Amino acid sequence: MTRLTENQSKNTTSLPDGPQSPGFLQIIQKIFYYLEYLDAARERYGDIFTMRSPGFPPTVILSDPQAIQEVFTADLSLFDTGTKILQPLLGEYSLIQLDGLPHQRRRKLLMPPFHGERMRTYAELICDITEQVMSQWTLGKPFCVRSSMQEITLRVILRAVFGIDQGERFEQLRQLLGSWLDSFNSPLRSSFLLVKFLQKDLGAWSPWGRFLRQKQQIDALLIAEIRERQTQPNSSREDILSLMISARDEEGQPMAEEELRDDLMTLLFAGHETTASALAWAFYWIHHLPEVREKLMSELDTLSPDLDPSAIAKLPYLNAVCSETLRIYPVALFSFSRTVKSPLELMGYQLEPGTVLAPCIYLTHQNASIYPEPKRFKPERFLERQFSPYEYLPFGGGNRRCLGSALALFEMKLVLATVLSRANLVLADKRPVRSVRRGFTFTPSDGVRMVMTGSR
């Protein structure tokens, strides 16, 4: 990627070709048929194309690994990477809105609890919570896997962030977060997050009004917890909120209350919705394809009965199943977009300031020259070769790469190993499952319904 001088950029601006469907049709496609829309656009225009939507700057969709590498490894001064689209969900002070140095500093502060030894301390918690949730399943009675997984992942992230997940405030927070997130649990209900003119507060019973009121209640609970912690500091606590409260910037200033609140919200949201959808997909594929289940069960049978978490984390086939799950239908179709700040050249195109670049995780993962038979679920591909971070990017990349990727993978493996070693499950219905929109992420349609047929 080259930065262009003012003279070079004059009259040379060029954008890749792309679909020209009318604005209204595009909205419908993006809400209900986004994967099909992207597949068709790539088929016609190739690995780099431009999406033009009324009221938005042109967006260049990238699924060529070389282009993605150039964007992920470019000098940070070339792009604006803060994203405003999640503001209604996460608030205006979330790290997701930050850019440049302030963003780097905030990441450094939030990173340690999600890596290495600290993360391993969550192992027992993840397995215990999984067993508690499994105990609510009734033999022979269908249940929604995604909802059960969401209960597990929400409780895990609440515990990691606050150090506890019990008590009246947490029960309220857990319930409110669940029902708030369910307010966009279908493609249709997601539309008000994506279409600005639907964002009208017409009272507590209107979708947007209800959404805003629930968000205010959640914010109030978070603020109450922050204030309580600030007035009763406890230096022995190691949870993420305690670390955030004691952190100081270079001028010795603590994080402001709004920053603490919005980052808590970011971690709670990003840290459980995504993993729950990925787990629901994994259960679907494992039970949809008997040969996958058989291979996985023989690998799990090599574990000692106490299910040692570090042994689970190292199982090669389980790792391949999780990787393939995140490849075939990634939970996030795109990594956060990057907005060009000064004229530059990318893959022979001269891009103007304001152009948006969107590395497309879904299309990169569907590239048949990297992944032969891309629509087939084949964990073996991850045993046969290694993919570069620009070919396989379920957690995005560059300076905004997912903060919780290690926790998410660890959690997926522990939950799968715990459930599959303790219970026999079957899919409750044979209908094909599609990847559908749930707010800004993508999830299996109907959440995958399964039945427990016995214990192991």
Residues that bind ligand HEM (CB under 6 A): 95-96, 107, 114, 266-267, 270-271, 274-275, 278, 326, 331-332, 335-336, 394-398, 400-404, 407-408
Q: Which of 71, 93, 70 is nearest to 81 (CA)?
A: 71
C-alpha to C-alpha distance for 399 and 98, rounded to whole angstroms: 12
Cβ contacts of 397 within 8 Å, gap of 6 or more: 68, 72, 335, 359, 389, 390
Residue 379 CB, shortest distance to ligand HEM, in Å, is 16
**DSSP calls for 198-244:** G-----TTSHHHHHHHHHHHHHHHHHHHHHHHHHS--TT--SHHHHH
* Burial class of residue 290 in the structure, from the number of CB atoms within 10 Å of its CB (0-12 exposed, 13-18 middle, 19+ buried): exposed
Give counts: helices (H), strands (E), the chain.
Answer: 21, 13
Residue 409 CB, shortest distance to ligand HEM, in Å, is 7
C-alpha to C-alpha distance for 435 and 412, rounded to whole angstroms: 19
Q: CB nearer to ligand HEM: give 218 or 402.
A: 402
Residue 456 CB, shortest distance to ligand HEM, in Å, is 26
Q: CB nearer to ligand HEM: give 249 or 429.
A: 249
Q: CB nearer to ligand HEM: give 79 or 395.
A: 395
Residue 388 CB, shortest distance to ligand HEM, in Å, is 15
Residue 430 CB, shortest distance to ligand HEM, in Å, is 26
- Contact yes or no for 66/347 (Cβ under 8 A): yes
- The β-bridge partners of 19 are none
Amino acid identity of residue 235, one-letter, is S
Residue 328 CB, shortest distance to ligand HEM, in Å, is 13
Q: CB nearer to ligand HEM: give 51 or 98.
A: 98
Q: CB nearer to ligand HEM: give 115 or 189.
A: 115
Q: CB nearer to ligand HEM: give 261 or 452.
A: 261
